[in-house]
Amino acid sequence: MAKINGEQFRERFAFGLRDFSEEDLSGARVTGSVSDGDFFVQIDLRGVDFSGANLSEADLSGANFTDANFSGANLERCSMYHCNFTRANFSGANLKAAAMTGSIMDCTNFTGADLKYAEVSNFGVSPNLTDAKNLHSVTNFSTIEDN
């Protein structure tokens, strides 16, 4: 797995690379739009700063997002199955219709995030949902203990 920084990521993205499954972006700052079916499947994204980024419709499944920052990011219709979101920050993020089934959410912050029609289920530890929006429309909201 090759380690790259945010600038190298943007360069590769600008040249058409869309599969980052073999890259280590841990600690990088990723800005702008990185969406439309891009693949970040099973990669190390610990501590990556996605604040304000547009990740709509990206496949982020199986990735490690420990300590990642998604504050204010657009994650609408993202596939985020079986991820590690330990201590990740989704404050103010758009998570409409996002799928986060089977993800670890220990100390994950969703303060002010919009979870309309999101699928958030089978997670091990309850996340911080203080002031999260549209919780009434979240589908399959449950912890592993509930099943």
* Average pLDDT of span 28-40: 60
- The residues spanned by each domain of the chain are 1-147
Residue bearing the bigger pLDDT, 140 or 47: 47
Q: Tokens 């990669």, residue? A: 43
Name the superfamily (CATH) of residues 1-147.
E3 ubiquitin-protein ligase SopA (2.160.20.80)
Rounded CA separation 32/125 (Å): 31
Rounded CA separation 83/66 (Å): 9
Query: Out of 15-19, 79-83, 88-92, which region has the weakest mean confidence (pLDDT)?
Result: 15-19
Residue bearing the bigger pLDDT, 143 or 82: 82
